Chain A
Amino acid sequence: MGFFVRFWGVRGSIPTPGPRTRRYGGNTSCYEMRSDTTVLIFDAGTGLRELGLSLVRSPPPAGLELHLFLSHPHWDHIQGFPFFTPAYLPTTTIHVYGSEKNENYQLLSGQMANAYFPVAFKDLSARIVPRSFTGDVVQAGDFVVRRFDQRHPGGSSGFRVEREGRVVVFATDCELDQLLLDPAAARDRPDARRTLPASVLAPMRDADLLIADAQYTDEEYPKRVGWGHARANTVVDLALQAGVRQLALTHHDPMHSDRDVDAMVLTAVERVRAAGAELEVFGAREGVTLRLDRP
């Protein structure tokens, strides 16, 4: 039946509480995808704390079984884990996915080392199971999840999530602008379509929803080259080339107020319109749930 996506944390880099960011939200990276039987969690930024509270509010009788996927171990993507209430319940099982070596598991536990946090990872009551992708695919409950590499300092993973013909791609922390086929064109003619290689487009192909890092405006980017994040306009062009239906701009910059994000969304919408395309663009916002399995 249902395929739901909920945004729990959409801020990049560091939490930003306060009135300027209240509408889109100040919690860092955390996204939930669920069906009637399966709960997938993407990233464990500070948004994870509230997801945890919501999960323990109505836990299934047999205990929670959760599948956790981490894009990469930068702070804004793991910092919520020590405050994730279900991890303290013996009835919870958390599958943590990573590559063969599964450094994700080590990195989650590493941040709970003595000097950083009072509770040790081994003292968490939940059953925490390291899992590896076989190749780049894994079956998690009734979802199929494919992992792909992204351009980011230290590397990051994107995930293509499929269930009953519906596709959501989670692609945070990727500097698409370093992958452009003609980077000079983007600089000299910002309005021209920015072309990305087929290898970058493939995992996004025909997604119903693409959730993508779009941290910077065109004006901001030149001073942040190499920081690992994309220009929103480049993400729009990626989505257009990949035949994406709906695009959620996310990893909002800590300096961006709600109005700034609104302005970026508006620019993106105008870019889509100028291209004569149907793509729907919006800003990822904390506390919003979308349903994917509608006709």
Chain B
Amino acid sequence: MATRTQTIDDDAPQTMMNRLQAGFRPRPRRAHRLEQTAGPGSGARHELSADLLVIGRGSSADLRVESDDVSRMHARLQRLDDEYSIEDLDSRNGVFLNGLRVHAAVLRDGDTLQLGDTVFTYTEGA
């Protein structure tokens, strides 16, 4: 009990403010990322930083995959509240999340995404 009172006394208002402000200081972070595990270009790692990016075969795609199974504009990745969602852009072969065909999904650590013959693993940064 005595120790605890001591700690509170030590926490002068100024110290408390410093601690709170420290929470707002920019810290180095590890980005969310996609690692390609199957399909042409397998092994590629992509750090995700943009708020919006398109995965596709087309030259205008942000994350290009050289596979005929992948549509020119296949899917869109969008960041909201530091989470990425994927949305199928009416692709021919669809987007499969852990084996389930989805129209869209909020991604979670360890998720597998399959677009045609191309497979990615999603890893959340810290």
Please list the residues of chain A having a beta carbon within 8 angstroms of any beta carbon in chain B.
4, 6, 22-23, 280, 282, 285-291
Stretch at the interface among B10-18, B26-34, B96-104: B96-104
Are B100 and A287 touching (Cβ within 8 A)?
no
Q: State in angstroms the CA–CA spacing of A280 and B100 once bound together.
A: 9
**Which of A4, A22, A280, A282 is close to B103, meaning CB atoms less than 8 Å apart?**
A4
Interface of B is mostly: strand
Ordered by A's residue number, 20 sampled pairs between the chains whose C-beta atoms are within 8 Å are A4-B103, A23-B108, A23-B109, A23-B110, A282-B99, A286-B106, A287-B85, A287-B106, A288-B97, A288-B100, A288-B104, A288-B105, A289-B102, A289-B103, A289-B104, A289-B105, A290-B101, A290-B102, A290-B103, A291-B88
Q: Scan B93-126; emit 1 where CB is below 8 A from any A CB, else 0.
A: 0000101111111101110000000000000000
Once A287-B85, A288-B97 are accepted as A-B contacts, the answer to whether A22 and B108 lie under 8 Å apart by CB is yes
Contact residues in A for B103 (Cβ distance below 8 Å):
4, 289-291
Q: B residues within 8 A CB of A287?
A: 85, 105-106
CA distance A58 to B105 in the complex (A): 18
Main SS class of interface, A:
strand
The distance in angstroms between the C-alpha atoms of A280 and B101, with both chains bound, is 11
Complex-state Cα separation, A4 to B105, whole angstroms? 12
B107 to chain A, nearest CB (A): 8
Residues of A within 8 A of B104 (CB): 6, 288-289
The answer for the CA separation of A282 and B97 in the assembled complex, in Å, is 11
CB distance from B6 to the nearest CB of A (A): 33
Contact partners of B100 in chain A: CB under 8 A: 280, 282, 288
Most buried by A among B85, B99, B103, B109: B103
**Bound CA–CA A6/B110 (angstroms):** 21
Give A5's nearest chain B residue, CB to CB: B103
**How many Å lie between the Cα of A23 and that of B106 in the bound state?**
9
